[in-house]
C-alpha cells in the first residue's frame, strides 16, 4: 500500500495528468464516432508513443480506453447509432429517453454510471485480480458457449416490441455472421464461391449500416414527404443526477458491475456481451422501472453503462495478472508493453509492482476525467441533435462511410455498410428491430466456434458433452441460467407467454 | 515618388518571379529528381495491431526511418489471412512509396486458395526476424519429454487435445511435421489464435499447444507452463534447458529451422536505386543493439536478409511447408500447380 501511495505520487505529475486528460477526451470522440474503434486508437498511440517513456504512454492509452468505451453511449443515446458494439444495449432505452427530451439527463446518468462501473471494475482488479483470473481460466469452451448462447437467447427479448420479428432479425444476423472462412476447416461458408465473401462481413460495417445509414434513409424519406417531425428538444435540463437517484440505482449498479467484471475478465468476451447480459439482468430483476423497458427505462441505461465500463477493469485483470488479453484493446496494450521492453506475463505484477499500481492509478485518473469531461461537454452534443435533419442526416451518412472505411481501410466494407443500410431501411419500414440483427452478427460466430471447440474436445460425443453441462460446477450454473432465460417473467413475455397467447389465439380462431 | 513606384513594382513582380524561378530550378535539377525518398512512405502491415508482425514492424521501422530521412507511416490492413493488405500494396505504383510488412502467410496463398498474390510479385527489402515455435504443456502435466507426448499420441490416436490456430498456423504445421515423421495424430481444438489458446492450456482444457516462444516465454518463466522442445536445430537462449527438436530427433532436421518470419517487401518493378536505399536503411535497423534486445524479449531470432538470400529462404520455406500441408491433405491445390518443388530430403 505504501508502494501504491508512492506510485500515485509519481503518477500525479502535470505531464501524466495532462496526457490522461487528453486521452480521455480523444477516447470519447473516437468512441462516439461509429467505425473509429478504441482498439484502433490505442494501436495508433502505440506507434505515436514509441519513443516515449512507458508510463506517460500508458497513462494516455488508458485514458483513451476508458473514454472510448464510454463515448460509444453518446451517439447511441443521441442519434441511436451505437459508437461501439458495447453501446448497442445503451440505445435500447437511452434513445427513447432522448426522444422524450431527456437527453441531458440520460447522458448525465450514463456518465455517472460509467464512472461507477469503472471504479468498481478497478476495485475488483486491485482487490481480487489474481483470484478472478484463476477463476476465469476454469471456463471451458462449453462454458463460453453457454454464455454466448445466453446472450443469443436474450436478443429476442431486448428492446423489441414483437418477439417473432426480433427472432427473425437475430437469426438473419447469425447467418450473416457465419459468412466467410470456416474457422475449423478453412472452407468457405455461404460464400457462393466468391473470393470477396471469404473474409466475411465485418460486424462494425453491419452495425453502421443497420443503425446509421438506414436511419438516414428513413429520415430522408420522411423529409421528402414533408412530414419529417423536427424533434425539438426543449431544454438540456438537469445533467448531473441527484445523489438520491444515484443511491436508488446503486444496488443495480453493483450487480451489473459484477457481471461486467466477470465477463470482461474472460478472455474472448468483452463489453458487448457484458452490457447485453447486464441489460437483461436489469429487465428481469427491476420490478418497477422508471418507464417500461424499451421505452425509456433509466435502469436500461444504468445497467449496460456500468457493465461495459466495469468490463475494462475485468479485461485488465488477465492482462496484468497473466499477460493474457481480456479483449482486443488489452491485446494492443500487451503489445505496447512488449514494445517498451517490458515482459507482460504472470511475473509482471511480482517483479514490477509499481507498474501494476501505475496502471491502476492511471485508470482511476482516467475515470475521474471521464466524469468531469462527460458532464462538461453535454450541451454542445445535445445541440448537435437539434441541427436541422436536412443537414444532420447527410453528415451522418458521411460519417458512416468514412467510419466504415476506417475499420480496415477496405472499400468493400463500405459496400456492405450501404447494403445493410438499405436492408435496415426496409426492416424499419416493416417494423423489424435492427438491434437483434447486429447482436446476432456478433454473437453467432462466437457461439459457433465455442460450440465446435466444446464438441471437438469430446471428439463429437454428444452424450459426453451434455453430461459435462451438468457435472462441472461452472457449466451447471451457466446451464441453469441459460434454461432460466427461457422461463418467462409472468404473467407475460418470454417464449412460454408467447406460446400461450398463440394457443389462445388459435383456440379462438378454431371456435 | 517615381522611385517608390518602381520599388513597389520590383517587390510586386520581381521578387515572386525570382522565388518561383529558384524553386523551379531546384525542382528540375537532376539531383532533385533522382533522390528517393522525397516524401513520406506508407507501410501496410498485413496483420492486426498488437500481433507479432505488428510489434516487430513498429519496433524496427523508426530505426529504418533514420537511414531514409523520411517518415514511414504504418497502418494495419487486415483480412483474408493478410491477403487484403498484400493486394493493396500490389495495386499501388511500384515506386517504393508503399511497403508491405508481411509474415510468412503469402507463401501459402496459392495452395490454400486464399489469394492469387504471392511473394514472386514482390522484392524483399528485409527479412527482419523469425520466431521459434515451442511445444508447451501445463506445468502439472505428466508429460516431461516430447518422446512421451509422441508415445501417448501413438497409444491413443486422435485423442490428445492439441491447441490449433487454423490451417497453416504454427500448431498445424508442426503437427503435420509430427504426422509426417513420427506418424502420430492429435485431436486439434480450433482457436482464433494464441490469444484464446493459451488460457485454454493454462485452464487445462487442452493437453498441449505449439506456440511461438514469444507468447509463452513468460508463462514458462513463471512456472505455469513447461516446454518439451523448441522447434529448431539448436536450443534457444530464451528457453534455457529446453532441448531442440533437431538435436533430439535428427529425422526432423530436413524440416528445420521452421517458424513464422516477418519482413518488408516492395512491389516488383520498383526502381533498383529505391530498393537499394530501402535495403541499406533496414539492414542497420535490424542489426541495431536495440532491435536485438527487443527480439530477444519476444523470443525471435534476427535474420537480416535481403536480395537473393532472402528469396532463397522464402522459396525453401514455401516448399517445406506447402508439401507438409499437402501431405496432411490440408491444401486446396497441389503445390505442383504453382511450381513449388518438393523439398530435397
**Do residue A186 and residue B221 have CB atoms under 8 angstroms apart?**
no
pLDDT band at A50 (very low <50, low <70, confident <90, very high): confident
The pLDDT, as a whole number, for residue A349 is: 84
B218: nearest CA in chain A?
A: A345
Q: How confident is the model at residue B1 (pLDDT cuts 50, 70, 90)?
A: very low
pLDDT in the model for residue A225 = 63
Comparing alpha-carbon positions, the chain B residue that sits nearest to A446 is B192
Residue range A160-183: mean pLDDT, rounded = 86
Contacts of A362 (CB under 8 A, 6+ apart): A11, A16, A20, A58, A59, A62, A63
Closest to B42 (Cα-Cα) out of B88, B82, B87: B88
Chain A contact set for B330 (CB, 8 A):
186
Reading the block at residue A371, the C-alpha cell is 466524469
A369 closest CA partner among A128, A71, A72, A109: A71
Residue A81: all three cell numbers together: 447509432
**Predicted ipTM?**
0.81
pLDDT in tens, A413-439: 899 999 999 999 999 898 888 888 988
Mean pLDDT computed over B308-333: 89
Q: To the nearest whole number, what is the mean pLDDT of chain B?
A: 86
Cα–Cα distance measured from residue A488 to residue A321, given in angstroms and rounded to the nearest whole number? 40
Residue B135 confidence (pLDDT) above 60: yes
Please report the DSSP string for A201-269 in residue order: --HHHHHIIIIIIHHHHHHHHHHHTT-------------SPPHHHHHHHHHHHHHHHHHHHHHHHSTT-
A199, A346, A457 ranked by CB distance to B84: nearest: A199
A166 half-sphere exposure, CB direction, 13 A CA radius: 18
* Helix segments in A12-102, DSSP class H: 14-32, 38-48, 54-79, 88-97
A410 with B114: Cβ contact below 8 A: no
d(CA B51, CA B71): 22
Cα Rg, chain A, nearest whole Å: 22
As a whole number of angstroms, the distance between CA A381 and CA A378 comes to 5
pLDDT value, residue A129: 86
Percent of chain A beyond pLDDT 90?
A: 32
More confident residue, A50 or A167: A167
Cell reading at A55: 508510463
What is the side-by-side order of every strand in the sheet holding B133-138? B187-190, B161-164, B208-212, B133-138, B225-230
- Calculate the CA A220 to chain-centre distance: 28
Which residues from B are below 8 Å from A315, CB to CB? none
Confidence tier at A12 by pLDDT (50, 70, 90): confident
Distant-in-sequence, close-in-space partners of A5: CB < 8 Å, separation ≥ 6: none
More confident residue, B128 or A32: B128
CA distances from A210 to A179, A203, B12, B114 (A): 17, 10, 58, 29
The chain A residue lying nearest B161, using CA atoms, is A457
Does the pLDDT value for residue A294 go beyond 90? Answer: no
pTM of the predicted model as reported, rounded to 2 decimal places: 0.80
- Residue to mutate among B115, B158, B196, B326, with most A CBs inside 10 A, is B196
CA B88 to chain centre: 17
Cα–Cα distance measured from residue A267 to residue B196, given in angstroms and rounded to the nearest whole number? 6
Which of A198-202, A408-412, A498-502, B38-42 is predicted with the least confidence, judged by mean pLDDT?
Answer: A498-502
For chain B, the farthest-separated pair of C-alpha atoms sits apart, in whole angstroms, at 109
Band of pLDDT at residue A506, cut at 50, 70 and 90: low
Number of CB pairs, chain A paired with chain B, less than 8 A apart: 136
Average pLDDT, chain A: 84
Separation of alpha carbons B46 and B91, rounded Å: 14
Q: If you average pLDDT over residues A398-402, what whole number do you get?
A: 89
Q: Which residue carries 539448436 as its cell?
A: B234
Q: Is the pLDDT of residue A160 over 70?
A: no
- Residue B126 grid coordinates: 528485409
CB spacing of A459 vs B159 below 8 angstroms? yes
Q: What is the pLDDT of residue A510?
A: 46
Which of B76, B84, B189 is nearest residue A457 as measured by Cβ atoms?
B189
Nearest to A283 by CA among A494, A71, A69: A494
Q: How far apart are CA B302 and CA B285, in angstroms?
A: 11
* Chain A residue closest in CA terms to B45: A408
Question: What pLDDT shows up at residue B34?
Answer: 59
Per-residue confidence (pLDDT) for residue A224, from 0 to 100: 63
Question: Which of A35-49, A80-94, A477-491 is least confident?
Answer: A477-491
State how far Cα B266 lies from the chain centre.
14
* C-alpha span between B178 and A464 (Å, rounded): 29
CB-side exposure of A372: number of CA atoms within 13 Å? 12
- Decide if B184 contacts B153 (C-beta within 8 A): yes
Taking contacts as CB-CB distances below 8 angstroms, the residues of chain B near A456 are 187-190
A345 touching B (Cβ < 8 Å): yes
Amino acid at each position: 500500500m505504501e508502494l501504491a501511495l508512492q506510485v500515485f505520487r509519481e503518477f500525479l505529475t502535470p505531464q501524466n495528468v495532462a496526457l490522461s486528460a487528453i486521452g480521455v477526451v480523444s477516447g470519447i470522440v473516437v468512441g462516439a464516432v461509429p467505425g473509429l474503434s478504441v482498439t484502433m486508437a490505442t494501436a495508433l498511440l502505440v506507434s505515436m508513443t514509441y519513443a516515449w517513456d512507458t508510463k506517460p504512454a500508458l497513462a494516455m492509452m488508458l485514458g483513451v480506453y476508458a473514454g472510448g468505451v464510454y463515448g460509444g453511449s453518446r451517439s447511441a443515446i443521441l442519434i441511436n447509432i451505437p459508437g461501439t458494439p458495447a453501446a448497442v444495449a445503451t440505445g435500447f432505452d437511452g434513445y427513447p429517453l432522448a426522444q422524450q427530451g431527456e437527453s441531458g439527463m440520460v447522458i448525465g446518468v450514463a456518465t455517472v454510471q460509467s464512472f461507477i462501473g469503472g471504479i468498481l471494475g478497478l476495485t475488483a482488479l486491485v482487490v481480487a485480480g489474481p483470484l478472478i483470473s484463476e477463476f476465469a481460466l476454469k471456463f471451458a469452451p462449453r462454458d463460453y458457449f453457454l454464455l454466448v448462447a445466453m446472450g443469443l437467447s436474450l436478443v429476442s427479448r431486448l428492446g423489441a416490441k414483437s418477439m417473432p420479428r426480433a427472432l427473425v432479425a437475430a437469426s438473419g444476423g447469425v447467418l450473416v455472421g457465419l459468412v466467410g472462412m470456416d474457422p475449423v476447416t478453412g472452407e468457405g461458408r455461404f460464400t457462393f464461391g466468391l473470393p470477396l465473401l471469404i473474409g466475411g462481413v465485418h460486424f462494425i460495417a453491419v452495425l453502421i449500416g443497420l443503425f446509421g445509414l438506414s436511419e438516414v434513409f428513413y429520415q430522408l424519406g420522411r423529409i421528402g414527404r414533408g412530414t419529417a417531425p423536427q424533434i425539438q428538444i426543449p431544454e438540456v435540463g438537469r445533467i448531473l443526477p441527484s445523489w438520491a437517484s444515484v443511491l436508488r440505482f446503486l444496488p443495480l449498479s453493483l450487480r451489473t458491475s459484477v457481471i461486467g467484471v466477470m465477463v470482461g475478465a474472460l478472455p474472448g468476451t468483452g463489453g458487448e456481451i457484458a452490457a447485453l447480459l447486464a441489460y437483461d439482468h436489469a429487465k428481469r430483476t427491476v420490478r418497477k422501472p422508471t418507464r417500461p423497458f424499451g421505452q425509456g427505462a433509466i435502469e436500461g441505461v444504468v445497467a449496460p453503462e456500468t457493465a461495459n465500463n466495469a468490463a475494462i477493469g475485468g479485461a485488465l485483470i488477465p492482462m496484468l495478472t497473466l499477460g493474457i488479453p481480456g479483449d482486443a484493446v488489452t491485446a494492443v496494450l500487451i503489445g505496447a508493453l512488449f514494445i517498451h521492453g517490458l515482459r507482460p506475463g504472470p511475473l509482471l505484477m511480482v517483479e514490477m509492482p509499481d507498474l501494476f499500481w501505475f496502471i491502476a492509478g492511471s485508470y482511476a485518473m482516467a475515470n475521474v476525467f471521464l466524469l468531469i469531461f462527460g458532464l462538461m461537454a453535454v450541451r454542445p452534443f445535445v445541440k448537435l441533435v437539434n441541427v436541422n435533419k436536412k443537414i444532420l442526416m447527410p453528415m451522418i451518412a458521411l460519417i458512416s462511410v468514412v467510419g466504415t472505411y476506417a475499420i480496415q481501410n477496405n472499400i468493400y466494407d463500405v459496400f456492405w455498410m450501404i447494403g445493410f443500410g438499405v436492408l435496415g431501411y426496409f426492416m424499419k419500414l416493416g417494423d423489424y428491430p435492427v438491434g437483434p440483427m447486429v447482436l446476432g452478427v456478433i454473437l453467432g460466430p462466437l457461439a459457433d466456434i465455442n460450440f465446435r471447440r466444446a464438441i471437438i474436445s469430446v471428439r463429437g460425443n454428444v452424450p459426453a458433452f451434455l453430461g459435462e453441462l451438468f457435472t462441472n460446477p461452472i457449466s451447471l450454473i451457466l446451464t441453469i441460467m441459460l434454461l432460466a432465460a427461457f422461463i418467462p417473467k409472468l404473467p407475460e413475455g418470454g417464449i412460454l407467454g408467447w406460446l400461450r397467447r398463440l394457443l389462445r389465439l388459435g383456440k379462438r380462431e378454431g371456435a | 515618388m517615381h522611385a517608390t513606384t518602381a520599388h513597389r513594382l520590383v517587390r510586386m513582380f520581381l521578387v515572386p518571379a525570382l522565388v518561383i524561378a529558384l524553386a523551379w530550378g531546384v525542382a528540375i535539377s537532376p539531383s532533385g529528381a533522382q533522390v528517393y525518398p522525397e516524401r513520406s512512405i506508407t507501410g501496410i502491415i498485413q496483420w492486426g495491431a498488437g500481433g507479432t508482425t505488428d510489434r516487430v514492424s513498429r519496433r524496427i521501422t523508426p530505426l529504418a526511418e533514420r537511414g531514409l530521412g523520411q517518415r514511414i507511416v504504418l497502418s494495419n490492413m487486415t483480412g483474408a489471412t493478410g491477403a487484403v493488405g498484400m493486394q493493396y500494396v500490389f495495386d499501388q505504383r511500384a515506386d517504393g512509396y508503399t511497403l508491405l510488412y508481411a509474415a510468412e502467410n503469402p507463401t501459402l496463398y496459392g495452395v490454400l486458395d486464399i489469394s492469387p498474390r504471392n511473394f514472386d510479385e514482390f522484392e524483399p527489402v528485409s527479412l527482419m526476424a523469425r520466431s521459434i515455435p515451442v511445444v508447451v504443456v501445463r506445468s502439472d502435466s505428466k508429460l516431461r519429454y516430447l518422446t512421451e507426448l509422441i508415445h501417448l499420441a501413438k497409444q491413443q490416436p486422435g485423442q490428445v487435445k492439441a491447441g490449433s490456430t487454423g490451417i497453416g498456423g504454427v500448431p498445424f504445421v508442426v503437427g503435420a511435421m509430427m504426422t509426417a515423421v513420427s506418424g502420430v495424430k492429435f485431436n486439434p481444438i480450433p482457436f482464433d489464435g494464441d490469444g484464446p489458446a493459451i488460457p485454454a492450456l493454462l485452464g487445462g482444457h487442452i493437453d498441449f499447444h505449439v506456440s511461438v516462444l514469444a507468447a509463452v516465454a513468460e508463462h514458462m518463466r513463471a512456472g505455469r507452463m513447461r516446454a518439451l522442445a523448441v522447434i529448431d536445430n539448436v536450443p534457444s537462449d530464451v528457453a534455457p534447458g529446453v532441448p531442440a527438436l533437431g538435436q533430439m530427433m535428427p529425422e526432423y532436421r530436413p524440416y528445420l529451422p521452421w517458424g513464422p518470419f516477418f519482413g518488408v517487401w516492395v512491389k516488383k518493378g520498383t526502381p533498383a536505386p529505391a530498393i537499394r536505399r530501402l535495403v541499406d536503411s533496414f539492414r542497420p535497423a535490424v542489426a541495431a543493439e536495440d532491435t536485438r534486445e527487443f527480439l530477444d524479449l519476444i523470443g525471435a531470432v534476427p535474420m537480416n536478409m535481403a536480395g537473393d538470400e532472402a528469396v532463397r529462404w522464402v522459396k525453401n520455406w514455401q516448399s517445406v511447408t506447402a508439401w507438409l500441408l499437402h501431405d496432411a491433405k490440408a491444401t486446396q491445390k497441389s503445390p505442383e500447380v504453382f511450381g513449388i518443388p518438393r523439398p530435397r530430403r
